[in-house]
Amino acid sequence: MEIKGYRYYEPKTCGFDFAGALERYLEHHPFHACAHNPTGVDPRQEQWKELAALVKSRRLFPFFDMAYQGFASGDTDRDAWALSLLYPGGTIYDEAKRVESQLKILIRPMYSNPPLNGARIAASILTQSELRSQGYANRIISMREQLVSNLKKEGSIHNWQHISDRLNVEKLIKEYSVYMTKDGRISVAGVTSGNVGYLAHAIHQVTK
């Protein structure tokens, strides 16, 4: 199998490669509605409008990947904005019912009775206002903002708008015990108000 790349991330701006998307992306790849994996970079609304116009003019059939709805902005409606923009043009979402029986046959050997623990924990959190008010999505967004703020306090002159620059991963691990994947991806959910300052200091030291 031949693996091909496509233009999406623009390192110079730490943002979406809109020109690249217009050139090739539309023809070969599904859309990420929000919180693009792995870059975390999403098109702006005005860019989505242009992409939607191209989809219509080229008579394309777009597929959407929306695994992280609510974790990009903290607002599920806002994160589904691109999908709602293209939805009036027609969908085959209801076709899912047609393949449901076949999917049940496929998953039957995998499990018969899924454990209830996870569902019960989620139900407990979502049905208790004091737990819901903790705002997990908002906390992640807040940690991103605090990380940028602390990087600026450290004196970093880099553009940290999207917190998506590739870092000196090896140095971060060996000298600062900041662990991440080899390509520089880090779990923002693991950043807390207690360690965000240290993380900002470590990142600044390996990028200054």
What is the C-alpha to C-alpha distance for residues 16 and 46, in angstroms, rounded to an integer? 12
Output the CA torsion 156→158→168→40 (10° steps). Answer: 120
Domain extent, residue 161, equals 136-207
Is residue 1 situated within a structural domain? no
Domain end position, chosen among 110, 132, 154 = 132
Number of domains the chain is built from: 3
What is the C-alpha to C-alpha distance for residues 206 and 208, in angstroms, rounded to an integer? 6
Share the mean pLDDT of the chain: 80
Is residue 183 situated within a structural domain? yes
pLDDT single digits (tens) 7-58: 888 888 888 999 888 876 666 678 899 988 888 889 999 999 999 998 888 8
Q: Are residues 92 and 111 in the same domain?
A: no
In angstroms, the Cα distances linking 157 to 29, 148, 151 are: 34, 11, 9
pLDDT score for 166: 45
Is the torsion defined by CA of 190, 191, 195, 200 positive or negative? positive
Is residue 167 situated within a structural domain? yes
Is residue 4 situated within a structural domain? no
What is the C-alpha to C-alpha distance for residues 126 and 111, in angstroms, rounded to an integer? 26
Q: Are residues 116 and 82 in the same domain?
A: no
With cut-offs at 50, 70 and 90, classify the pLDDT of residue 138.
Answer: low
β-bridge pairing 9-10 and 15-16: antiparallel
Is residue 111 situated within a structural domain? yes
pLDDT single digits (tens) 104-128: 888 877 777 777 888 888 888 888 8
Q: Are residues 124 and 156 in the same domain?
A: no
Domain end position, chosen among 109, 132, 155 = 132
Q: Are residues 159 and 107 in the same domain?
A: no
Q: Are residues 143 and 107 in the same domain?
A: no
Residues belonging to the chain: 208
CB 89 within 8 A of CB 51: no
pTM of the model: 0.53
What is the C-alpha to C-alpha distance for residues 98 and 101, in angstroms, rounded to an integer? 7
Mean per-residue pLDDT, 82-102: 75
